[in-house]
Amino acid sequence: MTDTQVENFLIATFEGIGSPLLTSTTVDSKTTYTNICYENRAFNRPTDNYWFGLHFIPTLPYQQELGKYGKNRWHGIFQVDICVPKDSGTDAMNDRYNTIVNAFPRGYITDGIRILKVGRSSARSTDDFCFTPVSISWQADLDN
């Protein structure tokens, strides 16, 4: 397993929450999500101000097992920013948060990736939208 595989798994799991929270278009059998802001990709914020920002925040791996071929353990946070229109109340924010929690249940393990916990920080307002960062803590064991 590589760090890219971990990032791709987390993004694919998030994209799996699907409709009605995620909006998408399909061109040539490729699905593009129009209300997800990925790191270092062009993004046009939807006019309704309902969107998500994804951030992959890894730490440095450390040696977990002894020997030359021992595995390395890696921790990190997959942060999802939930963005809703300013002054729209808490229902939309809470619905989106609960959907994310259900998609990343604590203790879930697959392909060497374990979800440790999911939690959110306080909401913050900016010019015309409000966002809440959701932190999904994970760990993975990587080959040396």
Could you list the residue range(s) of the whole structural domain that residue 133 is in? Answer: 3-142
Per-residue tens of pLDDT for the chain, all 144 residues: 677 889 999 999 999 998 899 998 888 888 889 999 999 999 999 988 899 999 999 988 777 777 887 788 889 999 999 999 998 888 999 999 999 999 999 988 888 899 999 999 998 988 888 999 999 999 998 777
Cis amide bond preceding 20, omega within 30:
yes
The CATH number of residue 124's host domain is 3.30.2000.20
Q: How far apart are the first and last CA of the chain?
A: 10
Measured CA to CA, the distance from residue 17 to residue 118 in angstroms comes to 15
Integer Cα distance of 131 and 124 in angstroms: 5
- Predicted model pTM: 0.89
Strand partners, 84: 130
Q: How many domains does the chain have?
A: 1
